[in-house]
């Protein structure tokens, strides 16, 4: 019913009218029914071959067109400050003042909606009272997804940009791993037409999130849902009309239901893939395995039913691997968290990136881990970064039959190392835990000799600090050591004191418990001292021979044996460096 006047001008004359129709300039008199001086947008064309992206994701870009977020900085800041609430037309006009290209116009509208419209948690529960008309949404400042999508569509059409509201199923709030979707669609989002192609966005999810009880909305801007790559958007958005997946090939609802849900953190942290690719995993002989691939070194953690006790996680240069051994049958929720390793302090939190359900039919009791085991297990790029290079054992678990094992590393920094051995039960108190590991330093190499007190599962923890630092040691990494041989019973190494220097070495006796009434051979590598004595009931001097101090000592009649050094020939006092105990008869 609108009347349109068409003027035809000779090409030499300047057409007045056309100018007047462009936004906000020109005379007022054309404003009749004419959409208040905005350009009319043509009806949206359906998606065609040139809109489609390949599925699965080619791991190239998170967005469906090149976007330089740095270049949006000024525009974003401007859009956030626009404060027009009286009409949608006035709001669009204000937003477009700083936007030249269609992309900039869409960006300004997107930024404004994401930061000014909040999710209406009350309205969600009581939809009859709810209007999703753009004018009402603007006035109220809140809505549900329907209102976000309608406001977005209306603002774009005022700005002369083709935009379409889409509806479908979403793996959003309340989604349970592996659930099916039936009945009406439950979510709405938009497609916008830019630079000759259709693109997808979701301003509801761009604006923030709702808490678990669905009673509180928190603004938390999420860049991920602006022009998301369709092969990633399909991860949690399934449109009623499959053409709007913008994918080649399109997915079926069944495939959508069975696919892994990766939330936006997964991609924004540079993670690439998770295996298995199905959300429900069955254990095989009590074990399930998961891995994640990523580009840059990333730190991971996991929770199985809220704890990280029943797994073995190893960090790799480009990802992580996790073996899970649930200690109860049934269904268990497995969450995997990640954080960038170079995180600035503000961003220094682990975020959930993927969730599985582990269905366990039988329990592998042998794979119970000591409670002191700390994830991740074994050496990694992280321990390398802390100065422990070229580990002799790259695997997280060491198996020993005779209860002894030895690990070596090259130390790249000037660090002091502290080690301790732990197991469940009270067989190793703190002090004894340290004495079952012996450090041997040879230039920048360190060897850790471990003698287990009995069979079982043990954790070898490794700490370090800069030699120049007065402070505490920092925990770096740990290994799991297993021994099934029940005859194993190694005594601790001798106790050493502060005058025992890092590069001294005990060649014999390595056992801190000496037999009674015996002659025991001593051989110690020490430098820079004048005299060495072994004090039992009597005093036995050692003699120097090719950099070693050697001699024998008789253990009869005493409970303890001390090795003493005389650091300077002119001094009369000795310092204790080692202490051995003698077996009681």
Note the pLDDT tens digit of each residue in 412-430: 988 999 999 999 987 777 7
For 144-178, how does the pLDDT look when each residue is reduced to its tens digit (9 = 90+)? 999 999 999 999 999 999 999 999 999 998 898 88
List, in order of start, the domains of the chain with CATH numbers: 69-258 (3.10.620), 268-360 (2.60.40.10), 381-493 (2.60.40.10), 496-582 (2.60.40.10)
Tokens of 232: 């990633």
548 catalytic residue (yes or no) = no
Of 424, 436, 445, 364, residue with least CA distance to 400: 436
pTM over 0.85? The answer is: no
In this prediction, residue 14 carries a pLDDT of 54
351 pLDDT tier (thresholds 50, 70, 90):
very high
Of 110, 96, 97, 98, residue with least CA distance to 67: 110
What is the rounded distance in angstroms from the CA atom of residue 175 to the CA atom of residue 181?
Answer: 10
For 94-110, how does the pLDDT look when each residue is reduced to its tens digit (9 = 90+)? 999 999 999 999 999 99
At residue 191, does pLDDT exceed 90?
yes
For 249-286, how does the pLDDT look when each residue is reduced to its tens digit (9 = 90+)? 999 999 999 999 998 999 999 999 999 999 999 999 99
Sheet of strand 237-239: strand arrangement? 226-228, 197-201, 187-194, 163-170, 237-239
Q: Which long-range contacts (CB under 8 A, 24 or more apart) does 384-388 make?
A: 384/412, 386/413, 386/415, 386/464, 386/474, 386/476, 386/477, 387/411, 387/412, 387/413, 387/415, 387/464, 388/412, 388/462, 388/464, 388/476, 388/477
Average pLDDT of the chain, as a whole number: 91
145 catalytic residue (yes or no) = yes
Per the residue annotation, which of 51, 116, 145, 199 is the catalytic one? 145
Q: How many CA atoms lie within 13 A of 581 on its CB side?
A: 10
Exposure string of 222-238, with b = 16+ CB inside 10 Å and e = fewer, is: bbbbbbbbbbbbbbbbb
In this prediction, residue 130 carries a pLDDT of 87
At residue 10, does pLDDT exceed 90?
no
Alpha helices in 420-487 (DSSP H): 430-435
At residue 248, does pLDDT exceed 80?
yes
At residue 480, does pLDDT exceed 90?
yes
51 catalytic residue (yes or no) = no
At residue 22, does pLDDT exceed 60?
no
In this prediction, residue 571 carries a pLDDT of 73
For 509-548, how does the pLDDT look when each residue is reduced to its tens digit (9 = 90+)? 999 999 999 999 999 999 988 999 999 999 999 999 988 9
Residue with tokens 């019973």: 489
Per the residue annotation, which of 154, 169, 187, 332 is the catalytic one? 187
CA angle 533, 537, 542 (to 5 degrees): 20
Per the residue annotation, which of 120, 202, 308, 323 is the catalytic one? 202
Average pLDDT on 364-389 reads: 95
For 25-84, how does the pLDDT look when each residue is reduced to its tens digit (9 = 90+)? 333 333 333 445 566 667 778 999 999 999 999 998 999 999 999 999 999 999 999 999
573 pLDDT tier (thresholds 50, 70, 90):
confident
At residue 378, does pLDDT exceed 50?
yes
In this prediction, residue 517 carries a pLDDT of 94
At residue 17, does pLDDT exceed 50?
no
At residue 345, does pLDDT exceed 60?
no
At residue 346, does pLDDT exceed 60?
no
């Amino acid at each position: 019913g609108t009347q349109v006047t068409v003027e035809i001008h000779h090409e030499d004359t300047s057409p007045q009218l056309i100018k007047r129709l462009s936004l906000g300039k020109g005379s007022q008199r054309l404003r009749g029914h004419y959409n208040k001086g905005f350009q009319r947008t043509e009806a949206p064309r359906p998606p065609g071959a040139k809109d489609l992206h390949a599925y699965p994701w080619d791991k190239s870009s998170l967005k469906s067109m090149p976007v330089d977020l740095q270049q949006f900085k000024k525009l974003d800041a401007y859009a956030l400050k626009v404060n027009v609430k009286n009409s949608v037309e006035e709001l669009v006009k204000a937003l477009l003042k700083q936007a030249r290209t269609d992309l900039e116009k869409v960006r300004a509208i997107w930024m404004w909606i994401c930061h000014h419209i909040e999710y209406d948690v009350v309205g969600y529960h009581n939809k009859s009272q709810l209007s999703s008309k753009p004018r009402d949404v603007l006035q109220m400042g809140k809505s549900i997804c329907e209102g976000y999508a309608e406001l977005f569509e209306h603002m774009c059409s005022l700005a002369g940009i083709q935009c379409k509201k889409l509806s479908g199923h979403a793996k959003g709030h309340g989604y349970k791993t592996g659930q099916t979707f039936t009945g009406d669609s439950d979510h709405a989002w938009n497609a916008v037409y830019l630079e000759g192609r259709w693109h997808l966005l979701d301003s509801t999810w761009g604006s923030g999130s709702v808490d678990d009880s669905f009673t509180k909305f928190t603004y938390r801007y999420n860049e991920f849902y602006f022009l998301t790559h369709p092969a990633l958007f399909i991860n949690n958005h399934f449109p009623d009309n499959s053409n709007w997946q913008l994918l080649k090939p399109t997915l079926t609802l069944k495939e959508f239901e069975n696919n892994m849900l990766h939330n936006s953190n997964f991609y924004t942290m540079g993670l690439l893939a998770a295996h298995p690719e199905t959300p429900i995993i069955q254990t095989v002989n009590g074990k399930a395995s998961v891995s994640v691939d990523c580009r840059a070194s990333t730190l991971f953690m996991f929770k199985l039913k809220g704890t990280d006790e029943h797994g073995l996680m190893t960090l790799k240069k480009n990802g992580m691997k996790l073996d899970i051994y649930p200690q109860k049958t049934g269904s268990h929720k497995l969450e995997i968290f990640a954080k960038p390793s170079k995180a600035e302090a503000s961003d220094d939190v682990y975020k959930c990136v993927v969730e599985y359900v582990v269905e366990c039919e039988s329990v592998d009791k042998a794979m119970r881990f000591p409670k002191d085991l700390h994830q991740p297990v074994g050496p990694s790029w992280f321990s390398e970064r802390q100065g422990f290079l070229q580990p002799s054992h790259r695997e997280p678990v060491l198996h020993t039959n005779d209860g002894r094992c030895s690990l070596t590393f090259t130390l790249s920094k000037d660090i002091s190392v502290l080690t301790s051995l732990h197991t469940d039960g009270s067989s190793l108190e703190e002090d004894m835990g340290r004495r079952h590991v012996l450090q041997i330093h040879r230039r920048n190499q360190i060897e850790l000799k471990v003698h287990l007190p009995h069979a079982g599962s043990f954790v070898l923890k490794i700490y370090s600090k800069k030699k120049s630092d007065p402070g505490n040691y920092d925990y770096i990494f740990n290994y799991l050591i297993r021994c099934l041989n029940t005859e194993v019973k190694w005594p601790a190494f001798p106790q050493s004191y502060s005058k025992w220097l890092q590069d001294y070495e005990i060649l014999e006796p390595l056992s801190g418990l000496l037999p009674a009434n015996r002659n025991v051979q001593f051989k110690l590598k020490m430098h820079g001292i004048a005299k060495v004595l072994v004090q039992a009931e009597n005093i036995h001097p050692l003699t120097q021979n090719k950099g070693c101090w050697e001699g024998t000592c008789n253990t009869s009649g005493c409970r303890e044996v001390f090795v003493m050094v005389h650091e300077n020939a002119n001094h009369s006092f000795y310092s204790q460096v080692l202490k051995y105990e003698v077996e009681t008869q």
